[in-house]
């Protein structure tokens, strides 16, 4: 019979030897992820985003500081505990120390857990139905987080993963929007992040016309302040509709244009 893993001891030993910021281990058939604190991020990196948020009158763009270092580890550990306590599918926090934390893999040991972003991109050749099904799973999972009175950190499709049991899980919690924004804006920020990171796949699969009513029905179930924040944001980004739907714009502007097409009334 295999002895149980001493998670705090494992973290202490491996963190001291690990050179990379994040690495995977398979002790006793269990897959673990060890995440170490990175260098501290300078406050100056957030000033440009703050200025842009003020210029566009878009509070959703208010920068959420991720100072890195020990603070990022403490924030991620706290947010993982908070979300797990309300039944949200996040990695299990097994051990934490000031400069590192140890997580259990969300999927099957030794097998990758694909991000929703990658799955949607790969499903584009299969057509609108395949992409739309994946997109709706992500949207429903975010809606469940909101229905339980909470929010995510960076709700981009790359941070949503589909697990072997069919559940959508969430990763990456080094920053906390709730430290600078009220709940309604945190939830609106989740929606905007997901729209920005997923709408281009909908466009490329010719699924936008089917997705738009689903999006607005989903939004109608949110709180009135969240709905108002997203409607105002979409109105202030209306200029994006004048951008040509061209690959020459680069992927970032293509994503922004596609997100506006999804959010537009």
For 99-145, how does the pLDDT look when each residue is reduced to its tens digit (9 = 90+)? 999 999 998 887 778 899 999 999 999 999 999 999 999 999 999 99
> Can you give the pLDDT at residue 52?
47
Domain range list for the chain: 7-104, 116-263
pTM, full prediction: 0.89
Q: How far apart are CA 207 and CA 121, in angstroms?
A: 13
Nearest to 153 by CA among 229, 72, 218: 72
CB 204 within 8 A of CB 195: no
The verdict on domain 7-104 having CATH code 2.60.120 is no
CB 103 within 8 A of CB 35: yes
CB 229 within 8 A of CB 191: no
| Block residue for tokens 């979300």 | 83
Q: How far apart are CA 93 and CA 76, in angstroms?
A: 10
Q: Which two structure tokens, joined as six digits, stand for 97?
A: 């120390």
Q: How far apart are CA 52 and CA 129, in angstroms?
A: 37
Query: What is the SS3 assignment for 173?
Result: coil
């Amino acid at each position: 019979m295999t002895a149980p893993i001493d998670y705090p001891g494992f973290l202490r030993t491996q963190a001291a030897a690990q050179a990379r910021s994040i690495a995977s281990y398979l002790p006793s058939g269990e897959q673990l992820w060890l995440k170490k604190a990175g260098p501290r991020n300078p406050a100056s990196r957030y000033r440009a985003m703050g200025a842009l948020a003020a210029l566009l009158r878009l509070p959703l763009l208010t920068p959420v500081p991720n100072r890195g270092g020990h603070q990022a580890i403490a924030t991620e550990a706290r947010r993982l505990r908070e979300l797990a306590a309300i039944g949200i599918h996040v990695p299990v926090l097994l051990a934490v120390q000031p400069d590192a934390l140890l997580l259990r893999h969300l999927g099957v040991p030794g097998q990758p857990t694909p991000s929703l972003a990658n799955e949607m991109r790969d499903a584009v050749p299969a057509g609108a139905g395949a992409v739309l099904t994946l997109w709706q799973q992500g949207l429903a999972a975010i809606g469940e987080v909101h229905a339980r009175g909470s929010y995510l950190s960076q709700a981009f499709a790359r941070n949503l993963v589909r697990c072997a049991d069919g559940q959508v899980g969430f990763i990456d919690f080094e920053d906390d929007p709730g430290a600078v924004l009220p709940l309604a804006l945190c939830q609106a920020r989740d929606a905007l992040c997901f729209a920005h990171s997923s709408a281009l796949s909908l466009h490329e699969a010719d699924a936008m016309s089917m997705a738009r009513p689903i999006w607005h029905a989903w939004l109608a179930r949110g709180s009135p302040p969240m709905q108002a924040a997203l409607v105002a944001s979409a109105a202030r980004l209306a200029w994006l509709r004048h951008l040509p739907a061209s690959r020459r714009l680069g992927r970032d502007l293509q994503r922004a244009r596609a997100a506006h097409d999804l959010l537009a009334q």
